[in-house]
Amino acid sequence: MKFLVVLAAVLGVFLAESLANDNIQINNVRDDQSKVSQTVNINNQNNVATINNWEGWRSWDSVCDYGAGFAATRLYNKRICVITKINKETFPSLEQLSAYSKDSKLPANRELRVYTVNQRKVNNIGEFGRHVESLCNGLSTYTAMEMPGE
């Protein structure tokens, strides 16, 4: 009986860690002295991360829905939303995103990815999952494709 209680406690700790949420606030000042504020919210239970970047008219919001396999970014200055498929080989995992956010800086050896935006509007945003639909609803929405190479 004692073993079961200890086992349940240990499993509870690991389960709580895997379902935990991270909420990270990052504030920076650009070279031109303008302020940038970023919030990263990670919901491990739903496999979703949201990133809010407040930078005046250049602000943007993103949602990464790892369960549905799509990420979307809402660009306020262009009044559009862009959706891409999450490539598990190149897109940061929830764990990596959490680590990057807590360090407030990206690793020096990161690779930048280039995406091409399709000029045709998306007709049915709902096919990309409820989180993406919630972010992009009411906006002109386009898909983007990761280009091969660096």
Q: Which helix (DSSP H) or strand (DSSP E) does residue 99 occupy?
A: helix 94-103
Q: Give every strand in the sheet of 70-75, ordered side by side.
A: 21-29, 35-43, 48-54, 60-65, 70-75, 80-85, 140-146, 115-121
CA distance 3 to 127: 47
Question: pLDDT tens digit string along 116-132?
Answer: 999 999 999 999 999 99
| CA distances for 144 relative to 53, 122, 139, angstroms | 20, 11, 15
| CA distances for 72 relative to 9, 63, 87, angstroms | 38, 5, 13
Question: pLDDT tens digit string along 17-35?
Answer: 444 566 665 666 566 666 7
The alpha-carbon radius of gyration of the chain (Å, integer) is: 18
Of residues 149 and 106, more confidence is placed in: 149
What does the domain layout of the chain look like in residue ranges? 22-146
Question: pLDDT tens digit string along 48-107?
Answer: 999 999 888 889 999 999 999 999 999 999 999 999 999 988 888 888 877 776 665 555
**CA 22 to chain CA mean position, Å:** 12
